[in-house]
Every structure is written in structure tokens, then in C-alpha cells.
Amino acid sequence: MKIQKQIPVTAYKASGFIGKYQQLVRETVIPYQHSVLWDKAPDTEKSHVAANFINAGKALRGEDTADGFYGMVFQDSDAAKWLEAAAYSLAVHPDENLEKQADELIELIAAAQDKDGYLNTYFTVKDTEKRWTNLLEGHELYCSGHMIEAACAYYEATGKKTLLDVASRNAECIYNRFVVQDIKGWPGHPEIELALLKLYRLTGNEHFLILSKKFIDERGTDPTFYAHEAEKRDWTVWGCDPWDNDYRQSGKPVREQSEATGHAVRAVYLYTGMADLASETDDKELLEACRRLWNNIVQKKMYITGGIGSTVIGEAFTVDYDLPPDTAYSETCAAIGLLFFGGRMLENEINGEYGDVMELAFYNTVLAGMQLDGKRFFYVNPLEIDMGISGTACTHRHDLPVRPKWYACACCPPNVARLIGSIGAYAYGESADTSYCHLFAAGSVRFSNGMALECTTDYPYDMTVKYKVSGNGKLAVRIPAWSRSFAISVNGADFSQAPENGYVYIEVNGNADIKFVFDGTPSFVRASCKVPRLAGMTALTRGPLVYCFEGTDNGRVSELRIDRSSAPEVGEYDPNLLGGTVKLTAKAERITDCGGLYTSEPEQCTPCEAVAVPYYTWGNRGENEMRVWMNIC
């Protein structure tokens, strides 16, 4: 049973910090990514996404497809995520040209759908006879999932049903295979599970709930499934090990799982679907599994920035407390998936920790995944850059010091765009008598329970959040764990209430002006001694933001030692620095005599100041050193 649910994207109109990012997505990111889909972006990796759909349509009509299929097996998902981002933009900012571009792409997608509802350009253009024979690597269900999400978003934004009809026919095709014909199988890359639940709620078609439940319930019931599938074919996409079930979260049934393993994005997409199904069907056993998996991630396998997945080998979780900063993988998509997971857990139970982690992932790893001008993107989000090593040494080649324009595997850029466009749905929730503020997002919200609010704040740099609320019911606001103290006033009068599971509840009858003031004092943070790489080090945070030290401000960052005995100085908000930000300055020492490679001579240090900027802004001033975790004096 859902305790509360997300608001529709159309119910929130952003302003402030979130509004600025949505404007960037609308004016820069969506147009740029559209040019990439059509291979029109200069000096950018070719995607061939639109051309793949054109060629699939030709193949179905028996026409020549001279240039064939190009790209990854999951290339179709780039189109779907772009359409979803475009839909969220159109939902609050109608744009005739953007809608025309989206409709044009949708027409190509519809023409690429086979008569039985099957939709996938890789197998339609390249190998029709190989359909459904490689669930391990083929990503057919993954691509269908993203197309379903795009279809739901586009219908809700525009009322147009073409893509929704395409996605529904595709879902029925899948239902017929795996439910009606009862052919065994589940996705190698989870995603469709959560998408089918969105489609079920939008259409009311029980087939989509049944299909999602089947994929979740049967996953891991036969650990030999992928191996037996591989024995039946003589081809592969990447040569994946079909016995590595931990990699794809299928070593045991999901209700028995307790440790996050394998590919981090696959994991959190699966867990999101599990949490969504648990709330939809009131499945207590499934919810308990979700709690175990959530706790394992946030207590033992999550970076201070909300990033997850610590190794480049398989883009995966490793073991508990293995969180090296310099070789971190911390994929942008994985942080987005963790936010999805937290959002669905909040529909099962109100717990401030979910919002705390969602906020952490969003303001740090997700936003770091995109350059401040919206034109370059990180797939990987390291917590340390050492010039001459990061991006160069074979062990650190994945940890780039600057963001590339695009990727052959381009899952992250459109994923960032669609999340920023839909962040209101994660920031605010509702039940019949309560309106929830999970994240602090400036703008206006209209809840279906009759309440409405206007949120005014300069968060995440100013810690005052004001709500002008109308209607009748309760306003529930998360008190972030990082705030050591807080003050509340209602209509100018002090209001005192101890948080309940991280939230305070305020009765509203008619109209109310409510103000929250949180503690913006910077904090030095240390890691558990169980994280060996971080022993004796410190990081610096303020509010939801994790800070880092860059060479641009500090010279050789590796020479610095931070003095934690003095409180950092909080600078004034500077609108001209890194898109508008606040610096922190800490007392420090600098090693002035590095000596030879090894020496028995003591270090020579001089007092200095070390300047820190928010982690999400790093890498926007050219190649230079960067560290989140610093040695201490």
C-alpha cells in the first residue's frame, strides 16, 4: 500500500536553483542531444540513433538498409531518454518546435515497430532471427523499458497517444511471450520492471502489472538460466560470463537478497522496481528485501557524494567498505538510479534517510555528471584527480580530468536531462490529507489533494526555506540529517515539533506562511576506519553539498594538509563563480619540500589557506588536480 505517491511532473513549476538547471536542460541540453541523435553535432561521437530507426522501418518494408545498424545494442534507449526529457520540458514549457522534433522521432519509432509489436532496431536491422535468444546481453527488455517510460511521459505532457500505443503494443508482445506462452526468462539488464508499473498505472492494463511481477518474482529462481541460454546459441555481444549471476543480481530470488552486488545501475533499477511493486501490491516480504539492500548500499557501499559502484571492472559494486577515491567509478546513471530507489522507498514508508540520500546523490554526483554549460558530460565521477595519472595510467584511465562531449555508450547524458526535468516528482509527494516536501525545490506545486504551495529559497546555498501554503491538510517537511539544529515559524510564530522519522508535520487550515531555517555550518567529515583508503583523511561539507579542493584555487592539492581545529570560513555567494556558488576556506599547511622519491628527512610545511568549491562544479576550469578527501595536519 502506498503511504504517499509522487506528484505528476506537470504539478511542479520550478524556480531558483532547480529552475536554472531546468532552463539549461531546455535551452541547451535537449537541443544539443537532439543534434547528436541525428548525427549533426560537430566534433562529437556519432550516434546514428535516428538513422537506426529509419533503417529498421526500411527493413520491415523490405527496402535497402545500406548503412545498416550502428552503435551499441542498447542504442534505442538514447532516443527514449531524450524523448522523456523533452516530454518533461514540454509539460511545463510548451514549445512548438521541440514538440515537432519529438513527433518526428516518434513517427520513425512507430514505423520501426514490427506487426507483432516487437520493437528493437538492433535485431530488426541486423539479426531478426536472433530476437529473444540472448536476454543475458541483448538488452531488448531494457530498451523496451526506456521506451515505455518515454511514452508515459510524453502522453502525460502532451496528451498524444502515438508513442503510448507503440509502447503498449510492445509490452503486450512481451506479455504474450513471457506470460501467455510462459517462456522462461528475465532481463539481463533490469529496467522494464519499473517501466511496466508506470504503464500499468497510466493505462490500468493488468497485463503490465502481471508482467512486471513475473520478471521480479522469477529472477534468480534458476541460477543456471543464462548459462543454459548461452549453450543454445553460437553468438555473443560482449562475451559476458553467463555464470556470473551476482553481476546481474540473479544468484538467488530477490526476496532472499541482502547485499548489493554486480553492475550498480542494473542493481538500483531492479531495486526501484522491487520497491515500486512492494508498494503497489503491499508485499511486506519484498519491502523487507528492499530495506536490506538499501541499508547495505548506504551504510557500506556508497561514496560521500552519493555515488555508487566503486570499480571500473563491470561498473560494479565490489565488497563492503571498498571505496577508493582515485579509482572510483561512481557512474552518473547509478546515482540517478539510487535516487529512483529512494523515491520509491518513500512511497512505502516515510523515512528521512531516503530523502537525505536522494539529495546527496542529486546535488553531488548527478549534477557533477554535466558540465555547467550543459555541453559536456561525465560517465565516471572520481573523487580525486592527480595530473599525469588520472585518465592516463592504465589503472586510472576511466577517471577523466575533463568531461567529454559524448560517448559511444551514451546512457548518462540523456539520463541527467530526464532526471533534472522530472525532479519535482521526487521533491514532492502527496496522500489524501498530507503534502510532502522531500527535497527543497523552489517553485510552485499543486497537489491533487487540494493543497498548493509556493516554495521560495536560495537552497542549496542559503538554508532558509519558505512555504506559502493554501488548502486544508498537513504539510510534511523533511528535516535533513546534516542540519545540527533548525527553527520553524508558522505565520510568524515559533513552532516546535520533534521530527517523526525525519519529518515534521504542520496542520494547514486555509492559508499559512511557514519558514524553515537550517544550520549551514560547514562540517569536517571523516570516514569509518573500515574504509582503509580514507583512514586519517577528512572531507568538507556544507548543507547537502560535498566540497572539493581544485588546483585552480590551490596549486598542488596533494601538498596540502587540512587543519580541522579551526572552523572553515564561509564566503559570500558569488554569482560570477562557477555559475554562482559559495567558497569555503580552511586553515591548512603546505608541504614545501617534497624531496626525492623517498627520504628520511622530515616534511617542511608552511601555514596556508585551502579553498574548496562544491564537488558538482569541479572540472569546469580546465585540467587540474582535484580532491574530496584530504590529508590532515
The domain segmentation of the chain, as residue ranges, is: 431-518, 524-631
pLDDT of the residue at 410: 61
Classify 431-518 by CATH class: mainly beta
Reference 307, options 236, 365, 232; nearest CA is: 365
pLDDT of the residue at 454: 98
- How far is residue 301's CA from residue 309's CA, in Å, rounded to a whole number? 8
- In degrees and rounded to multiples of 5, residue 252 shows phi and psi of -155, 160
- How far is residue 422's CA from residue 167's CA, in Å, rounded to a whole number? 20
pLDDT digits (tens, 9 = 90+) for 409-418: 567 788 899 9
pLDDT of the residue at 406: 64
Q: State the sign of the Cα–Cα–Cα–Cα dihedral 532, 537, 540, 541.
A: positive
How far is the CA of 116 from the CAs of 112, 140, 231, 403, in angstroms?
A: 12, 15, 27, 42
- How far is residue 279's CA from residue 285's CA, in Å, rounded to a whole number? 11
pLDDT of the residue at 402: 85
- How far is residue 318's CA from residue 295's CA, in Å, rounded to a whole number? 16
pLDDT of the residue at 409: 59
Which residues carry out catalysis? 315, 411
pLDDT of the residue at 508: 98
pLDDT of the residue at 378: 87
Tell me the three state secondary structure of residue 379. coil
Low-confidence ranges of the chain (pLDDT < 70): 406-410
pLDDT digits (tens, 9 = 90+) for 248-306: 999 999 999 999 999 999 999 999 999 999 999 999 999 999 999 999 999 999 999 99
